[in-house]
Structure 1
């Protein structure tokens, strides 16, 4: 009997129907009620069943040298009524006895395989930094790299090859369905890494722009009809999918997604699908179904760890991950989990030595974003063990032990926790390196910390903090038409200030910038609306808790202790206004000047939906004359002066007027171009270099 059992359970995960056969046969022989019944279920048909042309891939033949032989088993026998009972009190002693027996058989059958798997993993990790556990894994299809590098982004780029890359490639147009091949991208050149990062950045920029515009439309609709929650994230993802702008849809990428960095934060789950990080809109396990796999094996590619299962354990680098299924709508385990779908795919990934991406869903209570839950990409993990156990609720649960791959960047979830601790206690981390708790000396709404753990420099303390730009008196004397709105309870559609902005408000109800414009008119001293008016965003001052820090790469830099939502106002770039003649004199003396007309037009990228709407026209109203002044930051400055330069910035400059109407002297307001995680450096595109020094017009 023991030998017969061992032979049956040897195929426990080689074929999922073998479990059902073994449990049913053992139950008949011993008259012990079985704890669960595996009912074969069809794999999900994904999104689009349009046949995929294969003319371009004639030379690519999937090979599976390591794929185990799958025996054809007869249909499962009928289970007695007691076997499908979900009440843990029924036959309690027999239930737990059978669960323990099944678990022991599971461990015995795969003990040798797991030892070999762990041995290969340790040898691979010791000998190389390559993330491939099994280079000849039959679950991954070798795809030849493209021949030419496109050098531009057309909204449909996707990644899909395994092997070295020295010149990159113009990727295949993204399909609206997902193909069978599993591929891994590795050994990208620096040029390729920058290219794919820019692809992801622009894709997220389009997504956020669409989401914000859709939310504003829903807000206007809710004012006319009954209230309902705006779901701009769903509308944005649907539009992008219709236009073929979802990334990485032509191949199933195993491992890291090119252009997505460890620590990247996503405010909405649909955004994970848009960039190809996790393809399931609801399920926590993303996998290639067996019906779509060339070797007939489901393979998992990513998981979301959000604490939704009571048997989960998360220690950061080590995760005990519970399988999918068996829960009711209140997230209570009420059924036994089955070895199918994502659960089987995780075991197959362990068998083939394929790493999975881990995204953590975390509750976030921040002042700079309305999101109550965020998703953080924490890197690659390997599945080193899996077993079947009785969960806390008394029902069968499949568990998987995941280990984080060494040599990766710090986990984004750990960074979020550290930033949360710093918000509560600014001296909890390296207190000796905190040179000041507030360099603004309470001139801002929130404190700005100064931190240096690199050297002994304390340069920012040598300047006087300037919270608002210092305009010359003549700017306020030339106010022009000093008129304002007559709104008493807050600006409404069609008011005077809305007309000044082209007939629409520049912000939504949450204060998020809808689209960039040449200039924005906010309500000012001549308006009757109250301070909480939706059209008074930038003049309310700083909200995010910023930190000036010392960096080895950029000198002084700026980062936030808060998560900054895409389109949110950050701060003003302040200084003393100088005319052209005054600026020329100070430049000869070598003083630090910032020229507003040299900032690139990054504002035009925020809200640009030309890839969605062919009739989209870049905003040109209200127009402003060429700016012919400079900001002197040699003696008076604020936190914005320490932002570093980047050709792919995460912060844009938007010109705003509110305290005067002189178009030649606007305020320089800074907004987030993307969702910026805590402790990530803020960067601007300062544009052309200084004529005299040959350096960027940046004070540090």
Structure 2
């Protein structure tokens, strides 16, 4: 595979014979004038992170279940050496995601199974001076037969770089990342539902959904990039992608440390005993850190007490030495920024901001009076805009959209018909087409759809397990207490006008309208598109796709001069992907109840529409369509609701799979 590069044995390079103390960028500890002390070598922990707590097994507690089968392992975690339980004996399904993961893993493994000196006949030539220890792989590589192992694999010591991927390869890896995150989020949401059930028990300890999801996936060999340590960009992860948990980044191979700020190949796994840094997390919470965006002054680890206060000098070892070695060999590092973000699951988000080079390293006296190592990082040019900058710009727009005289055509095209204003942004041309249509906040159904008689629950303070509405949904609620979709279903029954429960009931989510600051914007690629100025959580409700409902007969008359309608039965069944754990649990069954008959109505959006009409099409969408009933019980005419399939950063365009699209614009012609 020509796009892969492998790390050369550092002992073969003249730079490797230089001792760390001889590096031009390092000053000896004696230069500070302080007495040399032996620091306590501890990982550089990031502030605001919740420490990994030990989760003991609780007796006589119900466990997460799907299809009537319990699936909660005896999780074992420790705050020191991060450990997971042994494989539970459940055989992993060889589905699309797992098969592709194993195929790519095997491709990496077999490509670098032999040492470089054996592959090149003992000669090392053609070193790229900018990459130092990394040399290209021979073009001809034999691929061994695929061997699938259910046991978790340890991280390997090989360092590789993936470059020059073709467009189809980029789409492939992006889809692998997307589906892996789908499984992770589905498991995490499942854990939150179980935690809600256990919350009323005595001596209840909160179940960490992020640890649960990571443990289940690791036991089944579903962690990515375990057969190699990737230097540089991770295929399928884009600049600006954000995460709520360290564990999700570990599952994807972006950052392999559950708490430490520096991820590196340890000296014990290196052929010459020298570590190499691959990624760092910058949170800006350390007294000697300086974050200037494109330029970062990053401090090392070690010499801290249990309260994260500097109490001793740092040493050039562990992650500190790895950073210095990466600078020496010109190996770039990935930078992830930890940012406070009110409204997120943990009030903090991690944003991947791209690749940086370490251009300088020195030993200095920190603000605490002790010696610390400092590293100057510069961002490599030619990369997309940093996700952290986009977060700040979106926050500024939420506060005052006219602050920088931005080209907003309208601050609210809904004319206050939505609880949150919908902006119209155009910095490309003078088009203002969305203002030509009447904004329709709710779908308009024919009168015969509604019935004067209906059934509903008799819950007073809110729906509980076993109530009538829960039974209508197959015995379980579709949402957790936070309003997050647990599993996609053919149709979801929300509480409606015939129910006694209050508006705050957990089973009333979509009928309350959307809560995100959405805006229609002009795009050079898709015409009109939709984005949010808020972070949208995976599984959360976005908005309804509205229009005027037409029967089959009415649709035929209206389309005599051309088909300009939206047909709900053409939307792909992406709802089945959300909560699909067939690759984790071998006996998982795709939800088929409650079921609805084939839909034969159409939505007319030619004169009245809402913001959803401008959502673009994609074969790898970040939005799914979920049918919902709440104001009537007619299964033939459900509401078309949009939910997030992944964590959608602010300013990122929303997309869904329309099923049938316009061939020229890759989008519905009526909305372009």
Q: Which residue among 594, 600, 622 is the counterpart of 1:650?
A: 622
| CA separation of 1:155 and 1:569: change in aligned 2, threshold 3 A | farther
2: CA distance, partners of 1:457 / 1:463:
13
Q: State the match for 1:406 in structure 2.
A: 381
Q: State the match for 2:114 in structure 1.
A: 60
2: CA distance, partners of 1:576 / 1:14:
74
| CA separation of 1:527 and 1:45: change in aligned 2, threshold 3 A | closer
String of CA shifts for 1:173-197, please: whole Å, max 9, x gaps: 9962111111100000111000000
| CA separation of 1:146 and 1:197: change in aligned 2, threshold 3 A | farther
CA contact (8 A) 1:47 1:177 kept: no
1: CA distance, partners of 2:41 / 2:195:
43
| CA separation of 1:23 and 1:444: change in aligned 2, threshold 3 A | closer
Q: Which residue among 335, 338, 347 is the counterpart of 1:372?
A: 347
Q: Which residue among 483, 498, 511 is the counterpart of 1:511?
A: 483
Q: State the match for 2:250 in structure 1.
A: 273
Matched, 1:449 2:423: yes
Q: State the match for 1:425 in structure 2.
A: 400
1: CA distance, partners of 2:40 / 2:342:
42
Q: State the match for 1:213 in structure 2.
A: 190
1: CA distance, partners of 2:354 / 2:541:
30
| CA separation of 1:155 and 1:582: change in aligned 2, threshold 3 A | farther
With the length of structure 1 as denominator, give the TM-score of the two structures.
0.79
1: CA distance, partners of 2:666 / 2:383:
37
2: CA distance, partners of 1:300 / 1:59:
22
CA contact (8 A) 1:578 1:631 kept: yes
2: CA distance, partners of 1:216 / 1:618:
19
Q: State the match for 1:92 in structure 2.
A: none
Q: State the match for 1:334 in structure 2.
A: 311
Matched, 1:13 2:20: yes
CA contact (8 A) 2:41 2:301 kept: no
Alpha-carbon shift at residue 378 of structure 1 (Å): 0.1
Matched, 1:572 2:544: yes
Counterparts of residues 76-87 of structure 1 (less than 5 Å): none
String of CA shifts for 1:487-522, please: whole Å, max 9, x gaps: 111111111100100111000000000000000000
Q: State the match for 1:36 in structure 2.
A: 37
Matched, 1:300 2:295: no
| CA separation of 1:666 and 1:513: change in aligned 2, threshold 3 A | same
2: CA distance, partners of 1:566 / 1:41:
34
Q: Which runs of 5+ in 2 are unaligned?
A: 1-16, 44-79, 87-104, 119-126
String of CA shifts for 1:470-500, please: whole Å, max 9, x gaps: 00000003x7x61111111111111110010
Matched, 1:137 2:132: yes
CA contact (8 A) 2:112 2:158 kept: no
CA contact (8 A) 1:240 1:246 kept: yes
Q: Which residue among 203, 220, 223 is the counterpart of 2:200?
A: 223
String of CA shifts for 1:412-438, please: whole Å, max 9, x gaps: 00000000000101112443x100000
Matched, 1:434 2:446: no
Counterparts of residues 498-647 of structure 1 (less than 5 Å): 498-590=470-562, 592-647=564-619
Matched, 1:484 2:456: yes
Q: State the match for 2:178 in structure 1.
A: 201
Matched, 1:254 2:226: no
Alpha-carbon shift at residue 295 of structure 1 (Å): 3.1
SS at match of 1:562: coil
SS at match of 2:20: coil
CA contact (8 A) 1:500 1:521 kept: yes
2: CA distance, partners of 1:283 / 1:40:
12
Q: Which residue among 347, 372, 388 is the counterpart of 1:397?
A: 372
Alpha-carbon shift at residue 678 of structure 1 (Å): 0.2
| CA separation of 1:305 and 1:133: change in aligned 2, threshold 3 A | farther
With the length of structure 2 as denominator, give the TM-score of the two structures.
0.82
| CA separation of 1:315 and 1:135: change in aligned 2, threshold 3 A | closer
CA contact (8 A) 2:408 2:425 kept: yes
CA contact (8 A) 1:363 1:374 kept: yes
CA contact (8 A) 2:42 2:302 kept: no
CA contact (8 A) 2:314 2:372 kept: yes
SS at match of 1:588: coil
Q: Which residue among 290, 297, 306 is the counterpart of 1:313?
A: 290
Alpha-carbon shift at residue 689 of structure 1 (Å): 4.1
CA contact (8 A) 2:483 2:506 kept: yes
- How many residue pairs get aligned? The number is 590
2: CA distance, partners of 1:413 / 1:149:
42
Higher-helix-fraction structure: 1
String of CA shifts for 1:83-132, please: whole Å, max 9, x gaps: xxxxxxxxxxxxxxxxxxxxxxxxxxxxxxxxxxxxxxxxxxxxxxxxx9
Larger Rg: 1
Alpha-carbon shift at residue 527 of structure 1 (Å): 0.5
2: CA distance, partners of 1:579 / 1:57:
58
2: CA distance, partners of 1:275 / 1:41:
24
String of CA shifts for 1:638-676, please: whole Å, max 9, x gaps: 000000000000000000000000000000000000000
CA contact (8 A) 2:240 2:386 kept: yes
1: CA distance, partners of 2:667 / 2:337:
41
SS at match of 2:388: helix
Q: State the match for 2:445 in structure 1.
A: 471
Choose between structure 1 and 2 for higher RCO, CA contacts under 8 A separated by at least 6 residues.
2
| CA separation of 1:309 and 1:691: change in aligned 2, threshold 3 A | closer
SS at match of 1:224: coil
Q: Which residue among 440, 458, 462 is the counterpart of 2:432?
A: 458
String of CA shifts for 1:359-393, please: whole Å, max 9, x gaps: 00000013xx4330000000000000010011111
CA contact (8 A) 1:558 1:682 kept: yes
1: CA distance, partners of 2:597 / 2:589:
20
SS at match of 1:374: strand
Question: Which range is displaced more, 389-398 or 220-229?
Answer: 220-229
Alpha-carbon shift at residue 566 of structure 1 (Å): 0.2
Alpha-carbon shift at residue 219 of structure 1 (Å): 1.0
